[in-house]
A and B are shown apart, each in its own frame.
Chain A
Amino acid sequence: MSEVLVTRDLRKSFGGIAAVNGVDLTVREGELTAIIGPNGAGKTTLFNLITGFERPDSGKVYFMGRDVTGEKPYNLARMGLIRTFQIVRPLRNLTVLQNVLIGCRVRGLGPEAAEESLRAVGLWEKRDVLASLLTHGELKKLELARALAMRPKLLLLDEPLGGLTFSEAEEVTGAIREANANGTTVVLVEHRLRETFRIVRRVVVMNQGRIIYDGLPENVAKTEEVVKAYMGGRGWVLGT
């Protein structure tokens, strides 16, 4: 399988504190990967560096074999590197459908792409509702729908299950799994490990800006360094 994303010795510090500290990550076509880790581990910063929202201090980012280090976020989005945000960022005074159509237009896709993605997350019935009137769970789904509608080559999801009810999380994980089954490479940052581990085939654990584990979900809890990172080594077993 070809490499969709490669980072080489990626580094970023804020005020002398290393948020991302030499990350080497390779994501291959068709993978569904979770990046987990305690708060402050550098997961969102890593997303920001990959998607151009932050410039790395050093290191390289390659997308589809091309060096895209420091490339503008909108150029990366046009190339098919699409992301969502941890805190939802809807275009509040636009309808659900309008929110999704913007990305479609930019990528040269027709309205059928918007309909397909809204149906996938269960928001098609609310297509004419203003985004400002949606619940938190619906906004999370909208964020995912906007990203899916752009037919990403690589989809980076920042806490897509954050704040969702159990049934909403089921719907969202279903949509992510379906997108992946249809060929979209997905990397997601998530804290809800039980639901996440059910759908991913690879887990990357970050702590203090470094990758401390990269492997199968079932082996994560058996890795001492990971348990230490999460619970200070008190023997807590991750919720798999």
Chain B
Amino acid sequence: MMSAVRPSHLAGIALLVVLAVLPALPGMRALLFPLTLTNIMATLAIAWNLLFGYAGLLSLGHSFFFGAAGYASAILSKSYGIPVPVAMVIGAAVSSGIAALVGLPSLKLRGHYFVLVTLVLPAVAYQLTNALDVLGGHDGIFGVPPLVRDSYAVYLGSLFLMLASLVASAFVIRSRLGVEMISVREDEEAAKALGVDTPRVKLYALMISAFLSGLAGAYWAHLNGVISPSVYELEKASMPLLMSVLGGKGTLLGPVIGAYVIQTLFESLKIEAIATARLFVFAAATFAIYRIFPQGLMGVLRRVIG
């Protein structure tokens, strides 16, 4: 017997078709770049949410994993002629490897040490990339080869990247590792008593999250054709947090919804007077929503749908 197709699945497919086709319509080409950016940021938010929303590990420095993969992919493709898709995957693996090196000691510490380590990482990377000529110094690396030349194909690629991250997240969450991640989030001591190897679970969660963040960062570098130390600035680090909290942390689709809302507002608020304060405005609005609906916009949606 065929399984019944749920209305939510149909709605999801319809939304995907709209997203895939919309920027190709006449007069809509201007949406291509902002929507590509949105998909990349949504991928970063999905990665961040996997770590915090499901494993309970707060990272204030995911821009580090984003940027490190971007730099690695840019150098590999530009200086060594490695094909861009391969360079992107290697870049993401570099981020994941660094995450393992950082996570091994810091995740064993009790309290907020891991948060502090993640806070420091982008700051250190900012100084390093500024200082090292091999990384382009203050100006960064220019002439990063694009993934493909056609901007619509780049957009579709970003949509695919976001979807693939979403599917990977769903797979992880439903696996044994995902269940163990949730147990760590809920109560680490209880999880240990239940036989959950908590250091291993946290490390794997961090590595997977860093890998997905790295894919987003590499895509971003090849989209812009340049990567510079500004990638490590506070705005990039705080965006996945705001997007996930606004959309609904610990939910699969929350970060995507949050990313689309925030990026849309971001693009709309490019008036200079507002632009400088927009991060503050978003943070205030996000935490106001969090106070009222701890599950973010996903919580609101669930209430509305009943």
Contact = CB atoms under 8 A, between A and B. Distances in A.
A106 interface: yes
A41 interface: no
B30 interface: no
A94 B194 contact: no
B196 A89 contact: no
B43 interface: no
A141 interface: no
Contacts of B158: none
Contact of A74 (B179, B182, B186, B197): B197
A92 B180 CA distance: 14
A113 interface: no
B179 A105 contact: yes
Contact of A91 (B176, B183, B192, B195): B183
Interface stretch (A11-19, A75-83, A180-188, A228-236): A75-83
Interface in B183-210: 183, 186-187, 189-198
A93 B184 CA distance: 12
Interface residues of A, number: 27
A53 B198 CA distance: 13
A55 interface: no
B190 A90 contact: yes
A146 B187 CA distance: 14
Contact of A94 (B182, B197, B198): B182
Contacts of B176: 105
Interface of A: 51, 53, 72-75, 77-78, 82-85, 89-94, 98, 101-103, 105-107, 146, 150
Given A72-B197, A91-B183, 17 more contacts: A53-B189, A74-B194, A74-B195, A77-B193, A83-B193, A89-B187, A91-B186, A91-B191, A92-B186, A92-B187, A98-B179, A102-B179, A102-B196, A103-B195, A106-B195, A146-B194, A150-B195
